[in-house]
Chain A
């Protein structure tokens, strides 16, 4: 096999991996929606005590409400954004690279600020606490975790902001790149823009729950359609390379 053919085959592998990751993101989205319809799948926790109770009664729901599925989604995002960079590296290298870097920044920040497993650990300690002093100390520790890691609050704003900005930027690159359909690009721009607006609403404006939920649904569905469209195209690129 010649050097260039070998290189082409390596890139084909990256495209296919990106396609699988994009489908994985869709699957994660479907699971997220499915869990919402389960009993207690759509509850809100007001106080740290509510969180500790949820973690003790339904550990999986506690982890999910603290962003467990987003950990998977972001991990898959690494492969998807790298594949999209690979697809556009020759038509718009600078901005495809910029979008990839911003997405990696967002993913890094998300990983660093996610508090799902420390909260599970703390709730276990709380359940074992024997004195009121211990419980008070653990509640305070839990509160400081919550303020950094509770999804769609000021604590997690930066990670989501960077990821959604990267999504908009790579969709703009797709729009002018001619490799993906214009429809994919427009759906990406729409979906990530709406999610970005939702993130602003949920983090900075209180009392707009219904409006924010409509935005989250619209953005979520659009981004799932985007993932399906890019998966299809990435598989095609993987075949033709």
Chain B
């Protein structure tokens, strides 16, 4: 084996992980749909005051503004999850010698979580259905597409979406604990990760016992997660350059 080439490959993976972390902070943050709603489309996009509820409302929004419709259907979370996969893979590379078993388990959780999320997100299917609805020529066809749309909407916040989030947060928590027990990342990075992912996991407890305030944990965890990603990106860039 060529040791220099092998090292260069790991460094490339660190750099990819670092860029993925920055892109996940700047462009493709998780719950971008909630941000768009809360900040009125950042003054750029014409976002409705309340998210559509029925299939016909979604079809109308997608026909009027495809970008906003897809964003509110959380299509950009697909990119976020893919970026999280790249970040966690780079973290596996960085921390594999600190605790291989825990890192393998965390990577496995994240891969399963991402796969389940990709399979559960219905945004693109919904857009396809809205195009068929727009092209329909009879009331019978339109009724058919509306009924199919309601069926798809029921899946939009289904079990798969929740399970995938749970697995990815659990993986994040596990990685943060490995960070804390090793000296590879700073204590600040590890603690930020523990706080971000623990808050995130509290969502599932509130979802069962106090659903009215289940929005609170994701909101609290969001700033910590962004800081965590930035700290990870800084360290991964250092590894990518060959620094310790």
Contact = CB atoms under 8 A, between A and B. Distances in A.
A53 interface: no
A182 B18 CA distance: 31
Contacts of B122: 148
Nearest to B86: A98
B148 interface: yes
Contact of B13 (A98, A112, A136, A139): A98
A147 B129 contact: yes
Interface stretch (B44-52, B112-120, B205-213): B112-120
Contact of A147 (B13, B78, B118, B148): B148
A198 interface: no
A90 B1 CA distance: 6
Chain B interface secondary structure, helix, strand, loop or mixed?
A: helix
Nearest to A111: B119
A94 B9 contact: yes
B12 A105 contact: no
B95 interface: no
A158 B12 contact: no
Interface string B132-155: 100000000001110111011000
Contact of A93 (B9, B125, B149): B9
Contacts of B9: 92-95
A113 interface: yes
A101 interface: yes
B93 interface: yes
A48 interface: yes
Given A105-B114, A105-B118, A94 B93 contact: yes
Interface centre among B93, B143, B144, B152 (most CB of A within 10 A): B144
A27 interface: no
A141 interface: yes
Given A94-B93, A95-B13, A140-B148, A154 B125 contact: yes
A80 to B, nearest CB: 18
A20 to B, nearest CB: 25
A48 B124 CA distance: 19
Interface centre among B6, B89, B111, B119 (most CB of A within 10 A): B119
Contacts of B118: 105, 108-109, 158-159, 162
Given A104-B111, A154-B125, A140 B147 contact: yes
A154 B127 contact: yes
Contacts of A97: 89
Nearest to B154: A144
A140 B181 CA distance: 54
Interface in A156-170: 157-159, 162
Contacts of B149: 144
Nearest to B112: A108
Contact of B125 (A91, A101, A155): A155
A143 interface: yes
Contacts of A159: 118
A115 to B, nearest CB: 11
B128 interface: yes
Contacts of A93: 6, 9
A75 interface: no
A241 to B, nearest CB: 16
A153 interface: yes
A148 B5 CA distance: 43
Contacts of A143: 129, 144-145, 147-148
Contact of B78 (A90, A95, A158): A158
30 contacts: A91-B6, A92-B9, A93-B9, A94-B93, A95-B13, A97-B89, A101-B85, A101-B111, A105-B118, A108-B115, A112-B115, A112-B120, A136-B143, A137-B147, A140-B143, A140-B144, A140-B147, A140-B151, A143-B144, A144-B129, A146-B148, A147-B125, A147-B129, A147-B132, A147-B148, A148-B152, A154-B128, A157-B124, A158-B78, A162-B118
Given A112-B116, A143-B147, A144-B129, 7 more contacts: A90-B1, A105-B114, A108-B116, A112-B120, A147-B125, A147-B126, A159-B118
Please list the 10 inter-chain residue pairs (A to B) with the smallest Cβ-Cβ separation, ordered nearest first.
A112-B119, A140-B147, A143-B148, A108-B115, A144-B151, A144-B148, A154-B128, A154-B124, A94-B13, A155-B125
